[in-house]
Structure 1
Amino acid sequence: MILNEAGTRRFRAYTSKHLDELLRRAGLADDERLRVRAVATVLPFRTNAYVVDELIDWSAAPDDPIYRLVFPQEDMLPAEEVALLADLLKAEAPNAEIQAEANRIRARLNPHPAGQMELNVPKLENEPVPGMQHKYPETVLFFPKQGQTCHAYCTYCFRWAQFVGDADLKFASDDIDRMVAYIRRHPEVTSVLITGGDAMIMGEPVIRRYIEPLLELDQLESIRIGTKALAYWPQRFTTDPDADATLGLFEQVVQSGKNLAFMAHFSHPRELESSRVETAVQRILASGATIRTQAPLIRSINDDPSVWSGMWRRQLRMGLIPYYMFVERDTGPQDYFAVPLGRAYEIFRDAYSSVSGLCRTVRGPSMSATPGKVCVDGVTEIAGEKVFALHFIQARDPALVGRPFFAKYDPSAVWLSDLRPAFADHFPYEPAPPAA
């Protein structure tokens, strides 16, 4: 154990070079570990000592939900692809050959869902602004260059492509001036989301460089920080050397008159159980920031109404605001983690119906798709036809927000692109088909 001056454990990361050693703790045989390592040549792996030593129940691995949350599984990819990569590893093939095969597989996994690279990048003086997305009129996302990693990677992460070391798949910037200039030219922008990766992987001096210029923009009402640090490294806000300075920065944001919102990612109730998390939450809330919670619905990890209701109740007791249940994105090992939309709605409904009104700030199940955030409101029957009832929580076209629309019921549908319109020849976000 490595201790800092306060006598607490320092951050220690584990990457793919530690994977075989860690898999032994899960009791996996040699051939099983080889196949998991094969998957890890395609999908990124990173965790840390806090997750490994304090969150995972190794006596229940590999079925433990936190283990499945951070460790690759051999059936995340087709068996023939895993076998090919495993053979290359076993034969100690040149790394270039292994990476070429891994890149081929990545290319078919839709590394940039919902047009992230093409549709959302804004322009300033007709030049793209790197590391920014402007999908909705009032909100821009900024991806700081120094925040393009995490304290640990989730196996279902829809931004997995940022972490595989391919420059063509990275999306980030450290050009703060262009971000500020763009926002000034767009008075409709009232909120900035700093995301990644994980924005809180950055030290206080670095994140301050991104946040302080935003405080000079009168048009901004809120600054949001996307992070899973509370779940994966709560020490970031308690015992890390710059924890106090970071909280001081949060206070500065609040004192400037802007709302500072932590978009905290909690995937399972166990991530909330540590006293370290409770202390970190108390310190953040004391700075004047709010903490809103969100996570996707993930098969084999949290696809149970009692998991979600228990998580929301505990969050409420801690002063957190349940915000979103997402549908697993159409990228990476979606086939492995996805829950059919009909079942997703049932899980949300059953969890939602068993909590108090104060927990019912949560919305979902929501798909962050190309046209916007689409919420599945229910499954019903209209004019003798079974349908999904849907509406936009957010949309590229603001006129679509809140308007109900319907899709034919499909028990196997897991994403918006799997659905077909009901009672119409096209969805409201699609152009009308040409007249016959």
Structure 2
Amino acid sequence: MILNQAGTRRFRAYTSKHLDELLRRAGLDDEQRLRVRAVATVLPFRTNAYVVDELIDWSAAPDDPIYRLVFPQEDMLPSTDVARLADLLKAEAPNVEIQAEANRVRAQLNPHPAGQKELNVPRIGEEPVPGLQHKYPETVLIFPKQGQTCHAYCTYCFRWAQFVGDADLKFASDDIDQMVSYIRQNPSVTSVLITGGDAMIMGESVIRRYIEPLIGLEQLESIRIGTKALAYWPQRFVTDPDADATLELFEQVVDAGKNLAFMAHFTHPRELESPLVESAVKRILGSGATIRTQAPLIRSINDDPAIWSGMWRRQHTMGMIPYYMFVERDTGPQDYFAVPLARAHEIFREAYSKVSGLCRTVRGPSMSATPGKVCVDGVTEIAGQRVFVLHLIQARDPALVGQPFFAEYDPSARWLTDLRPAFADRFPFEIAAENVLVPA
């Protein structure tokens, strides 16, 4: 075991080159390991010693939820694709041939859901600004070039395309001056979300390069940081060499009069159990930052109301704010992980009914779809027709926010595109899109 001066383990990553060795711990035979390795040529794999040694119950693998959270499964992809890739691996085919087949499979997995690469491109004049997304008028997302990885990858991640080494699928930039210039030229922007990947994979000196210029922008009310570091490497805020300097940077943001919000991803209650997590949360809150929690609803990992109500209560007692339950996006292994919308609402409603009002800051189940964040409010009957009741929490067109609308009930629907309008020919956001005037 490698120790630093604080007596804790240094960060050690495990990647695809370690995969076969780790799969043996799960009791998989030669053929099973080969098929999992085939999936890992398409979907990225990365974990670390903390997740492997502290979070996974290897006696329950491969059915353990944390194991399934970070390790590829052979049925995440169509069986014909897995078989073809497994044959190439078994034959020790040239890497260029394996990658060509992997790229073919990736292209079928909708690597950029909600038009996130095509529809959210900010521009200065006619020139696009790389590494930014501007989906809503008040919010800009920043993708730092140095933050395009994570301490460990979630198998359900909708940004999996960022991690497969294909430059055509990645969006990121380190041109901080250009990013700041864009924000300054758009005074409607009041909130910035630094995301990736995971922003907290960056060391203090690097993330400071992105945050300090934002502090001086008077228009900004909040700076958000999207991260799963609290679950996958809480040492980042406790015992890492630059942990103290990082917290001092957070204090600097708060002292400048801006809200610093951690958008923390917790997918399963076990991620909250370590004393390191409790220490990390206390230190972050002590800097004046807030922590809001969110995660998608994932089949075979957290599709149980008791899991969600337990997480929300624990997060609340730790000082965090339950924020979102998301619906698994229409990308990557959605067929493996997705929960039908009707069942998703049942899980949310039951979990929501088991917590106090102080936990009911959480919203969901929410789809981060092309028109915005669409929330499933329930299922009801109107004029003899069973329907979904929905509304937009956020929208590309702010006029649509909060307006209820209806979709025909479909027990198998898993995403917005599976739904059909009820009592109308089109959804409100479809009408709004058609009414947008395109300049000549």
TM range (shorter): over 0.9
Q: Which runs of 5+ in 2 are unaligned?
A: 435-440
Partner of 1:374: 374
- The answer to whether structure 1 residue 49 and structure 2 residue 49 are counterparts is yes
- The answer to whether structure 1 residue 397 and structure 2 residue 390 are counterparts is no
Partner of 1:186: 186
Partner of 1:300: 300
Supply the distance in 2 between the matched residues of 1:253 and 1:112 (Cα, whole angstroms). 32
Partner of 2:210: 210
- What is the DSSP-based 3-state SS (H/G/I as helix, E as strand, rest coil) of the residue aligned with 1:165? coil
Shift of 1:433: 11
Code of the aligned partner of 1:187: P
Q: How many percent of aligned residue pairs carry the same amino acid?
A: 86
- What is the DSSP-based 3-state SS (H/G/I as helix, E as strand, rest coil) of the residue aligned with 1:429? helix
Code of the aligned partner of 2:267: S
Supply the distance in 1 between the matched residues of 2:347 and 2:269 (Cα, whole angstroms). 16
Partner of 1:262: 262
Shift of 1:43: 0.2
- The answer to whether structure 1 residue 387 and structure 2 residue 387 are counterparts is yes
Supply the distance in 2 between the matched residues of 1:416 and 1:105 (Cα, whole angstroms). 24
Supply the distance in 2 between the matched residues of 1:243 and 1:91 (Cα, whole angstroms). 46
- The answer to whether structure 1 residue 130 and structure 2 residue 149 are counterparts is no
Q: Which runs of 5+ in 1 are unaligned?
A: none
Code of the aligned partner of 2:217: L
Cα distance change, pair 154–433 in 1 and its aligned pair in 2 (3 A) = closer
Shift of 1:432: 7.9
- The answer to whether structure 1 residue 226 and structure 2 residue 226 are counterparts is yes
- What is the DSSP-based 3-state SS (H/G/I as helix, E as strand, rest coil) of the residue aligned with 2:296? strand
Code of the aligned partner of 1:134: H
Supply the distance in 2 between the matched residues of 1:25 and 1:40 (Cα, whole angstroms). 17
Code of the aligned partner of 1:215: I
Shift of 1:126: 1.4
Shift of 1:8: 1.0
- The Cα offsets for residues 221-265 of structure 1, whole Å up to 9 and x where unpaired, read as 000000000000000000000000000000000000000000000
Root mean square deviation, CA, Å = 0.9
Code of the aligned partner of 1:304: D
For 1:22-421, list aligned pairs within 5 A.
Answer: 22-421=22-421
TM-score normalised to structure 1 length? 0.99
Supply the distance in 2 between the matched residues of 1:29 and 1:181 (Cα, whole angstroms). 55
Supply the distance in 2 between the matched residues of 1:375 and 1:178 (Cα, whole angstroms). 34
- Kept in 2: contact 1:425–1:433 (CA 8 A): no
Shift of 1:7: 1.6
Supply the distance in 2 between the matched residues of 1:67 and 1:359 (Cα, whole angstroms). 28
- Kept in 2: contact 1:426–1:433 (CA 8 A): no
- The answer to whether structure 1 residue 14 and structure 2 residue 14 are counterparts is yes
Supply the distance in 2 between the matched residues of 1:21 and 1:430 (Cα, whole angstroms). 50
- The Cα offsets for residues 144-173 of structure 1, whole Å up to 9 and x where unpaired, read as 000000000000000000000001011000
Supply the distance in 1 between the matched residues of 2:169 and 2:219 (Cα, whole angstroms). 32
TM-score normalised to structure 2 length? 0.98
Supply the distance in 1 between the matched residues of 2:352 and 2:123 (Cα, whole angstroms). 41
Aligned residues: 434
Supply the distance in 2 between the matched residues of 1:196 and 1:334 (Cα, whole angstroms). 20
Supply the distance in 1 between the matched residues of 2:57 and 2:44 (Cα, whole angstroms). 22
Shift of 1:212: 0.3
Supply the distance in 2 between the matched residues of 1:39 and 1:346 (Cα, whole angstroms). 32
